[in-house]
Amino acid sequence: MEPIWKKHWPATVDEKSIRLPEELLPATLARQAKRVPDRAAIHFYGRAITFAELDSAVGRLAGFLQGRGISPGDRVAIFLENSPQFAIAYYGALRAGGIVVALNPMHKAVELSHEFQDSGARALVTSHPAYDVVEPIRAQTNLETVVLTAYRDFLPENPTLLPPPSFLESKGGQRAGTDALLDILRTAPEQKMQVPRALSDTALLQYTSGTTGTAKAAEITHGNLVSNCELQRIYIGAGDDDVALGVLPWFHITGMECQMNMMAYMGATLVAIGRFDLVTVLRAIELYRCTLTTLIATVNVAIVNFPKTKEFDLSSLRHCFSGGAPVPPAIARRWEEITGHKLIEGYGLSETTAPTHINPPNRPKYGTVGVPLPLTEARVVDANDGGTELGLGQSGEIAVRGPQVMKGYWRNPDATRRAFRDGWFLTGDIGRVDEDGYFSIEERKKDMLKVSGFAVFPAEVEAIMYRHPAIAEVGVVGVADPYRGEDPLAFVVLKPDAKGSVNEEQLAEWCRANMSVYKAPRQICFVEALPKTATGKVLKRILRDQAAALKGK
């Protein structure tokens, strides 16, 4: 029996005719460079890097890495923000046969030490300021080669968009034990051919956030990367004439796969934004007539709360996607009202090379993450045993399998065994599927609260609270309670014009009137901002610590 969600796929999707690619991404990039050599691959604050220029730079870095002894399977770390240099390092490492290790540019020495030691990276491409973090711990790593770059090396003399101030800085002179990327791109021999690697070989070590302990690296294969690109292309109807806005961090799987890798795979143009700035994002869409954008919930919130959003011409957008965390339906509806475009929410993880689910662009259902992509299976299983499939509307753990699912966790067979059950990957997310086959994500398995014996999902409480006109952002966590077991506590950021017009008790009373009493936060705490990761996700573990401290007073 066919899954019920297939009837909601776009009419152009013919699953039986899909043939997954057998060409690795760097080889696809080389093919695009021959097909559309003069097309802009990346716009970087007004500088256009063509596909021919990008491919040549990739080849030269690959030739340099080979000359430095990088062999197939060796790890090459990238510690950069969104920039042409990131793409050059990424595809250059892959063309040389290496495995990319994508590092969070906000990480400090303690986090980096673990990732360098765990991955065994032999080479690193980074910026001058970021190397200040690495240099003191370099002797504790396996790094033999470090390539340095300045973001301003790829900026135009007169930027069309305002770059982050730090991108305009430049440290002069060579630093001991490092090589300059610009020198490499001028002098290194160009490696035009892909070093042979199988689709089943590891291409990427993608470190998870580590909220439950030491960060683990998902082993993403070459086949995972190109398969998900092809499934996205077919499902959303992407073409090489699309212009995508690349504002999500490329070190993160969503920005990397849905923006940067789709650029190389499709031969389409990507507008690279190094660091999120609201006005810069809106100007970029208007200036470059972007047709596609993938954002996250916190960016959606920022855009709908910005009074001047309507002053920008966003009419070129064809699809607006969102991932990373559930978008409250109230925010999605406000997004549509303000921008004139539906918000197409999707779902995926580092371990699944980004999306496994996307709302049908022709039929999105707010409050859900849509339906599984072609060739992708998903089901809801009992959260305790990981194997018993549950019925429609029942809450359980989301399990998936498909060509985009990782091979396992790097050098961590125990974690890999725990993550899979009979070939299905257990996502750790609690959700349900409705009568139309649309999936909803309620909460991370570890974040579900038990209040007086009832299951409470903070995301659901947050979604209801977003309906209040005074609330700009909200984060709900649980605090221990001797009678109820746990109590929800809400951290609230008020809209600027609402400050002074509502107090914590009034909001708590509103919550009791608008949701089941056991779900309603008994305590509201006003804050100026919520703590977030580099990708914009709210850091619940920090909120939990703050909530515990408040409860203890």
pLDDT at 33 over 60: yes
Helices 504-514 and 458-465, packing angle to 10 deg: 110
Domain ranges of the chain: 4-12+23-433, 448-551
Cross-strand bridge partners of residue 245:
271, 293
Per-residue pLDDT, averaged over 350-357, amounts to: 96
Per-residue pLDDT, averaged over 398-410, amounts to: 98
User: pLDDT averaged over the chain?
Assistant: 93
pLDDT at 212 over 50: no
Which pLDDT score, from 0 to 100, does residue 152 have?
Answer: 95
User: What are the tens digits of pLDDT across the range 56-81?
Assistant: 999 999 999 999 999 999 999 999 99
Cross-strand bridge partners of residue 270:
42, 244
Q: Do 4-12+23-433 and 448-551 have matching folds?
A: no
β-strands 202-207, 99-102: how paired?
parallel
pLDDT at 483 over 80: no
User: What are the tens digits of pLDDT across the range 93-137?
Assistant: 999 999 999 998 888 887 899 899 999 999 999 999 999 999 999
- Residue 439 banded pLDDT, cuts 50, 70, 90: very high
Which pLDDT score, from 0 to 100, does residue 211 have?
Answer: 37
User: What are the tens digits of pLDDT across the range 506-548?
Assistant: 999 999 888 778 789 989 999 999 998 877 788 888 999 999 8
User: What are the tens digits of pLDDT across the range 3-18?
Assistant: 999 999 999 999 999 9
Domain 448-551, CATH? 3.30.300.30
Residue position matching structure tokens 């490696």: 191
Overall fold of domain 4-12+23-433: Rossmann fold (3.40.50)
Percent of the chain at pLDDT > 90 equals 79
C-alpha–C-alpha distance, residues 301 and 309, integer Å: 12
Give yes or no for a contact between 84 and 272, defined as CB atoms under 8 angstroms apart.
Answer: yes
Residues whose CB falls within 8 Å of the CB of residue 505, separated by 6 or more in sequence, listed in order: 524
- Residue 222 CB neighbours (<10 A): 24
C-alpha–C-alpha distance, residues 417 and 365, integer Å: 34
Say which range, 175-179, 221-225, 242-246, 445-449, has the weakest mean pLDDT.
445-449
Amino acid sitting at position 110: V
**pTM, to two decimals:** 0.85
